[in-house]
Each structure stands twice: as structure tokens, then as C-alpha cells.
Structure 1
Amino acid sequence: MAAAAFPPLGLLFAMLIVMGGPARAQSLTSDLFNPEKASRTASKQSPLRKLDQATGDSAPAADDDPPPAPPAPSRLGAIPRYGAPAASGAAATGYDSLGRRRPGAKGVANGTAKGAPNGAARAGAVVPLTNNTTLPPLRQGPLPSTPPKLAPPPSTAAHGAPVPPALAGIVPGQPPRRRLPLDTDPFGATGIYYGSFLSKAAVELSGGYDTNPARTLPARGSAFYMISPELLIASNWERHSLVADLRGSYTGYGTTTPFDISASTGAPVTLDRPDFTGKINGRIDVSRDSRINSELRLRIATDNPGSPNIQAGLARYPVYATAGATLGVDHDFNRFNVALSATYDHTSYQWSKFADGSTYSNDDRDYTQYGGIGRVSYDWQPGLKPFVEVEADTRIHDLQFDRYGYQRNSNGGYVKGGSTFELTRLITGEAAMGWTTRSYVDNRLSSISGLLTSGSLIWTVTPLTTARFIATSSIDESPLPGVAGVQTRDFTFQVDHAFRRWLIGTAKFGYGTSDYRGLGRFDNRYTASLDLVYKLNRTFQIKGQVRHDWLDTTAVNSSTEATIVMLGVRVQQ
């Protein structure tokens, strides 16, 4: 039985003897205790692997596996993309609703030859997860060290209450809502709407010091206060227009003039005085080419301090009021425009009150003026509209003879030519020159005539700097004996600069002349001022001003100077 169990051993020894080789022990290798599953190909650690004859390293096998593809990039930190882009499933030949031309499928696309299976990718290339070429490429390489970007938060109005259809203007049959005009002044008054009218109100409270409020010699300074209300009302109609502009002020002084100085210099005892200018302009659009224009106006003021028209020994300045109206029509004949209007103005003075308690009538200074104005203009080109204007008027005084026995009724008028223009929005306004004349019923009063200049120009030098020029001319009345009237011309140049949107600086220079015909007196008036406005918000502003006035006259001992310093607050709505 033992002989039957051991024959294989005997056969083994017989074979070793026949081979005739010496017996050797098994060498130790790194995979001796690392058994692997049997495979038809030898691994790189197998002792049965092939070796390179020159170097002794493992020889590459023809059937070795290709290097593994790098891992897919991580999507951590990438901004999520929601929705499917247009033509995301159209491959290379499908329909694209955006009308974009898709590349042809010739040659190699995305690393794979045309018609090749998905597994036949180019060695070392990353196989795309989709065949959509519009998707952005995936991030390659290591992850960035910066924190991932988060998706933007949703809008605060995403879940808000819906806007009513009437407010949004989407109700069927509802007329379109008119857009409000753009507000270019971030610190301007917002105003209040009363129906179709926009109202803007303001008041300024100022205080300061005037070195010569009466404009007399010798100069006597005084502190003062000023209250200046304003009201602007404008319609917001599609047709027609109505605008009311009302501005006033009251100046009060802390000191009075002694009686003896008032009697010798002409300065009133009380220097307080009011000032008001109001206009209401209306326009009725009769048709596309015809309009009816109207204006109501009111002026309340006193004679200027230092004027020779002021009587000596007054208790206060007498106040005068000028109320007037204008009614006219204008019509467009293609590019020609013809405008005709009639004017009416009445001026009335208070009685003079003297420091000794007596009074004196100023009825001889009251008069009514009737006039008519004709204007023809031609729209030559956009931004340039030349015109010719003619005016004629007559002045009738309430009393035929004044306090000195002169008849002051007169007839006058003017002719001027100029143009309104708008040059590239940089220079806008109107400028004109002409000739004015006035003749009097009394032969003892000489006629007055001379050059007339008028204009109002605005030059936008830069978006932060604006220059303005204003010129006016007039022939005014005078109660002085032998004086027919006063021919007055005034020129003002002003520059506004915005250092910031809330800090506005203004420099102003003015020059004027007054020619008293028949008296031999000629006045030169100069004024220079610096203003600074600090806008806190749309409601409150702080204003400061420094001004100096000169009066250079041919009258003996009548030239004066004055310096005014003022600081105030403006409240507007």
C-alpha cells in the first residue's frame, strides 16, 4: 500500500537525475508573500517579467495598458448654471433657434475621429461628458485656494407685492402715463403737486451788516435782517400753460438816522423797505400755429438809496406800486412768426411822511402807460431765430402839472433787432440792439433818445461752470425840476461754479449808468460780490455773501461806497 502511495516521488527523483543539473534553492522576491490572481500577462513585480538586455529594467510590453486618464475636475466652488442653453441638445447638425452657425462634423471633433466609438478617445485627452459645444469647459488642475463664489442673492423685490395694473399702465384702454421730467439738480426743491400744478415754495432768513445802508455822506453802518419768500407755481398740461413766479423781500435795520442828519443828507430816519416782483404768465394754444399770450405783473419797491429823487427829512421811504397786464396773439406762417400785444401799466406812489410829522402828496408822480408791441421773427435754422421788434407807448399822469408846474405827459417807443439762439446747447438766450426815444408835451423838457441794448445769455462753459450776461435799458420818470427823465443802462456778468454738487460759488460783477437829462448829473454804478451756497439737502441751504457797491457821480460830495456782509439760511419745499 505504501508502494502505491509513493510512486510519484520516485518518478520525480528519476527526472532530476536524468536532467543532471545541480539542485538550487528558491530565491526570495518582493512578491513571494504577495500572491496575485493568475493572469495571462505578468505584472511589473512578477519574477517572470521580461527584462531589458541593456539596462536590466522591465521592458515595455506591446500589450501594456494605456496610462489611466486623469480624474474628472471637481465641481466644488463653481457657480451653478441653471437651465439649458439654446440648442444644448442639437449636437453638431441640429437646429439652433438663435440662428448661430454650427461647426461642421469634418475631421476630428472633441478629440474623437468622425465615426469612431466613444471609447476611441485620443491618448491623454479628457473625454467630454456631453457633445454640447456651447457649454463652458470644465476647470482643470488643482482646486483654487480662494473661497468658492456663491450665487448672487435673489432680488429684494422678487417676492414683493405685484404692482397694480392701473399704476403700471397696463389696463386695457388706459391712456399712457406721462413721464416726469428728469431732475438734474439732486439738491433742488422737489415741490408739491396739486392736481396738475407743481408748486415750489421757499423762504430765506438772512442777517448781516451794511457799512452805509442809506448811501450818504458821512456813512453810518447798521446791522440788518432780511426775509425773502418765494413761490413758483407751474402747470403740467399737455396744451396751454400757466406759470406764476412771486418773489419778495423785506429788509429791516437795527438803527435809525438822527433827525438832524436826515434833514441834511436826505437819508430817512427809518431805513426799512420792502421789495416784491410778481408775474403770472398764461398761454392758450388755439391751434397748432396760433396762440394767445397774457401776463399779469406787480412791482412794489422804493427809490434806490442815494437817489436824488428822495426828499430830505423823510421818516421812511415812500413805497410805489406798478401793476400791469399784457394781452396778445402770435401766429406762425410757415417759418415766419408774427406777434402783436397790447400793454397796460399803472404806477402809484404813497404820500411822503416827514420826520416832523407832516405829509406831502406824490400824486403828481402817478401815471398810466398804454402801449403796443409788434414782433416779426424768422426761423432761419435750428437754434437761430432773428427778429425785429417795435414798441410805441404813451404816458399820461394823473395830474396835468406836477409840483413844479411841468407837464410830464410823454410819448415814446423803441426799435430793436436781434436774435434768439441756441448754439449746441452751450450758448442760449437772446441779444438785441436798437434805438429808443421819448418826447414830452412840455417844451421845457428836452426829448431823450439813445442806444438801446437788451439781452439775456447763458453760456455753459463746462458741466460745472455757467456764465450769464444780462443787459437792460430804460427811460424812467423823475420828479426833479427841469429833469425830463433818467436814461438807465445796466449790465451784469455772473459766473457760477459747482465745486461739489452741494457747494456752489458765484462771482458777480455789475455796471450801470444813470443820465439825468436836464440836470447835468451822470452816475456810474459798480457792484462786485462773491456768494457761496452750501446745500445740506433738498430742504435746507446755507448762504453767504460779501458785496461792495460804488457810486461815482458828477454831483458834488455825492459819491459813496458800501460793503455788505450777509449770512442766511434757505428753507425750500
Structure 2
Amino acid sequence: IEGRDKSAEDDPFAATGIKLGSFVIRPTLEQGLTASSNADSSSEGKPALLSETTLRFNAISDWRENLAVIDGYGTFLKTISGDEVQEARGRVDGTLNVDLDNDLRAIAKLGYEAAPESASSPVVIEGTVEQPVRQTIDGSLALEKDAGKMRFALTGAVEHDIYGDAKLSTGGTLSQKDRDSTLYTATLRSGYEISPAITPFTEVEIGRRVYDLRVDTNGFERSSTRLGVRAGAEVDLGEKLAGEFSAGWLREAIDDDRLPAISGATVNADLRWSPERGTTIGLTGQTIVEGTTTANESGDILYSGRLTGEREIRANLIGNAALGVDWRDYIGSDGHDLTLSAEAGLTWWLNRYAGLTTRARTEKQTSNLEGRDYTAHSIFVGVTLQP
């Protein structure tokens, strides 16, 4: 009827995306300047003004049955003035969900990541100009089955890490091939649906980490056998609260008898809570075993936790914040690192296609090991574009 008010869009500033075949693709380009007090986040880092470019994209299928999702990002940093930094990093992930017969589901995942190793890495390489680039290729295949209120899942996964050569300040390079390894794991999960809102579960994980070189440059056999157990719960309260959390124990026994096993408690979480419309709180946690080729050392366990929040202040103004904590426990010694971080940002959408973005971040690492303390502050100002 002419003159009748049109209904408002749910989100008038959301990306409409690009239709390509049976996928809808939503890319985002962010370009701006970053001023940092510690450009490479190292104990001897210096200030710099950097150009920062980030391309993010999401592609989701619109198939009648089954679902495919592809997510990725790429970031490029280059110094305009100050400490010389030139860095490129990125990751792409693909997930395919297929419903089979008899309440059986298959979930396949494949990912690739490339990024220079952090200057605060637990593996210290003396006299380098640039940190080696680490490439990770990972994939998994899971089969899930519902039998009444029982839930079963069997997941096989493979992760292969490749380290590039380290460039030395004296000229030449230092090979990092003895750090290349492949982790094979199989995980069996069983759960029982107490109610549609909560499903407790237990997990058993077995695996094998195989290094490309049986003996590293220091004469140690680094390959290991992995065993883990976990107990936790899946939570599903619709849009209000969803995700899972678990706790358990993980052990990697190294083939070389001179090196102690890497073992410790594990804590994992991935929860999303929406106390009201327009507000999302996220909590993630993971436990990672980090190997090393340092003589007479086994490696460490890294505990990482992130608390994030996003708020739609107005239809065209989005605020976000994050708090992070990392605790690295070195096996076979009393060494440890503690890293604390905080970040806050705003995006003001001028229209559906362009917005202004700013964020501030601070990070501080303290360690009882020499030469590992650092503090880094940064501010980013730029524009965000989306089709």
C-alpha cells in the first residue's frame, strides 16, 4: 500500500556479500596505520609506525542439504618509519558437514596457516635477522552418531608443521628442518544427553608425533607417543549460551630416555553467551604441547585463555574488547612465562560498505628466564571496506 512504512532491516549495515555459484562470499578489507612501542614484540623491540593491511573472507554454501564453510584471513605489515618490520601471515579453514543415513554425520576439516614465528617463541635462535616462517597444514575427519540419548564421535586428525630457515645477522641461514614434525591423533568421545541443554561427555585421545629427522642436530630423538583423557559437557541454551568445556590430563612420552615426558593438566573451552540482543561474550581456552630442539629440554605446555566481548552500541557503531592470558610451563625446569594482554576497539560504519576502525592493544610478558620479558603497546587507525 502506497505510503505504508517499510519494515526496518535486522542489520542495515551488514555485508550483503557476493553470490558465486552455490556460495555467498563476504570479504572485508581493512587498511590503516599501526603505531607500536615494540614492533616485533621482543625483549629488545623498538618503536615503529607500520602500514597494516588485512583481508578477511567468509564463504558459506546455500545447499538444500549439508553445509560447507570457508573462512580465511591475510595480514601484511610493513614499516613506514622506525624499527624495520616486514611481515605477512594468514590462514584459511574449510569445513564440510554431511548428513548420512541412520543419524550418522561426517565432518571434514582442512586448514593451512603461514606466519613468522613470534620473537617470544620458547625456541630461541641466537643472532637472527628474521624469525623463521612456520607453515601448518592440518586436517581432520569426524564421524558422529546419535543412539537415543547417547552421543558418540570418532575423530582422526593430522597436523604437519614446517619451519623455514632462519636468516642470520652474520649472513647466511640456519636450517630449522629438525623441528619439522607431524602429529597423528585419534579421539573417541562418548556422551549422554541429560537434557536438550546439557550433554556431559568423556574423551580418550591417542596419538603419535613423528619428527622428519629421527635425530636432531643435538643428538636427541624427539618423536613421542601421546595419551590424553578429558571430561566435560556440551551446553546448548539456544542463542543465550552455547559451546563446551572440558578438563583432563595429557602426556607425551618422548622416545629419547634422556628427556622427561611432557605431561600436565588440560583445560579447554569454547563458549558463547548473549545476555541481551546485540551483546556477545565469548570464552575460549586451549592447552597446547610445544616441542623444542634445545639440548636437554623436552618442551613446554602452553595454557591460553581469551575473554571477548562485542556490543552493538548503535546500528552503525560496534564496540569490542578482549582480555587474554597465556601461561607457559617448561618441562624439566622451573621456567615459566606469563603473558597478559588487553584490547579494545570501535568500528563506525559510514554506510553499508565503508567504516572507520580504531583499536588499542597492550601486551606484557614476564618470565623467570633471562631475556624473555617484554611490553608492547599499539594503536591502529584505518578504514574497513565490504561489498
TM-score by length of 2: 0.93
Q: Which amino acid aligns with 2:225?
A: N
Shift of 1:215: 3.0
Larger radius of gyration: 1
2:370 matched to 1:537?
A: no
Which residue is equivalent to 1:148? none
Q: Which of 461, 472, 495 in structure 1 is aligned with 2:275?
A: 461
Residue 254 of structure 1 aligns to a residue in which SS? strand
Where do 1:31-180 residues align within 5 Å? Answer: 155=2
How many aligned positions are there? 384
Displacement of 1:424 in angstroms is 5.9
Corresponding residue of 2:310: 496
Rounded Cα–Cα distance in structure 1 between residues aligned with 2:142 and 2:277: 37
What residue is the counterpart of 2:109 in the other structure?
Answer: 295
Gaps of 5+ in 2: none
Distance 1:183 1:233, change over 3 A: farther
Kindly report which structure 2 residues correspond to 1:53-452, keeping only aligned pairs within 5 A, or say none: 155=2, 184-255=10-81, 270-423=84-237, 425-452=239-266
Counterpart CA distance in 2 for 1:445 and 1:529 is: 39
Q: In the aligned structure 2, how far is the partner of 1:405 from the partner of 1:371?
A: 26
- What does residue 296 of structure 2 align with? 482
Q: Distance in 2 between matches of 1:383 and 1:185?
A: 29
Alpha-carbon distance between aligned partners in 1 of 2:367 and 2:9, rounded to the nearest angstrom:
46
Shift of 1:280: 0.8
Q: Which has the higher helix share?
A: 1
Determine if contact 2:118/2:131 at 8 Å carries over to the other structure: no
Note the C-alpha offset of 1:196.
Answer: 2.4
Q: Is the 8 A contact 1:534 1:542 kept in 2?
A: yes
- Would the alpha carbon gap of residues 501 and 357 (structure 1) be closer, same or farther in structure 2, given more than 3 Å must change? same
Q: Distance between the aligned counterparts of 1:285 and 1:211, measured in 2?
A: 50
Task: Give the whole-Å Cα distance in 2 for the aligned partners of 1:417 and 1:310.
Answer: 35
Per-residue deviation at 1:508?
1.6
- The SS at the match of 2:178 is helix
C-alpha distance in 2, partners of 1:480/1:254?
A: 35
Bigger RCO (CA 8 Å, 6+ sep): 2
In the alignment, is residue 471 of structure 1 matched against residue 318 of structure 2?
no
Q: 1:298, CA displacement in angstroms?
A: 0.9
C-alpha displacement at 1:317, in angstroms? 1.9
Offset at residue 365 of structure 1 (A): 0.5
C-alpha distance in structure 2 between counterparts of 1:478 and 1:383, whole Å:
42
**Would the aligned equivalents of 2:46 and 2:82 in 1 still touch at CA under 8 Å?**
no
For 1:18, the equivalent position in structure 2 comes to none
**Percent identity (aligned):** 25
Give 1:242's aligned amino acid.
Answer: A
Alpha-carbon distance in 2 for matches of 1:216, 1:369? 29
Aligned residue for 2:274, secondary structure, equals strand
Q: Deviations over 1:429-469 (max 9, x none)?
A: 21111111111001111112111111111221222432221
SS in 2 for 1:482: coil
Cα distance in 1 for partners of 2:72, 2:204 equals 28
RMSD across aligned positions (CA): 2.1
> In structure 2, what is the Cα distance between the partners aligned to 1:183 and 1:203?
24
Amino acid at match of 2:316: W
Structure 2 residue matching 1:315: 3-state secondary structure: strand
Asked if structure 2 preserves the Cα contact closer than 8 Å seen for 1:303 and 1:310, the reply is: no
Q: Deviations over 1:231-257 (max 9, x none)?
A: 211111221221111122122223576
**Is the 1:367–1:397 Cα contact (8 Å) retained in structure 2?**
yes
* Alpha carbons 1:272, 1:316 under 8 Å: kept: no
User: Within 2, Cα distance between the matches of 1:196 and 1:218?
Assistant: 50
Q: String of CA shifts for 1:305-360, please: whole Å, max 9, x gaps.
A: 23342422223221011112212322221222211122122111111221332112
How far does residue 211 in structure 1 lie from its aligned partner after superposition? Answer: 0.4
Change (3 A) 1:256 1:543: closer
- TM-score normalised by L of structure 1: 0.64
TM-aligned CA deviation for residue 183 of structure 1: 7.2
Where structure 1 has 5 or more consecutive residues not aligned to the other structure, the ranges are 1-153, 158-181, 258-269
Contact in 2 for aligned 1:492/1:509 (Cα 8 Å):
yes
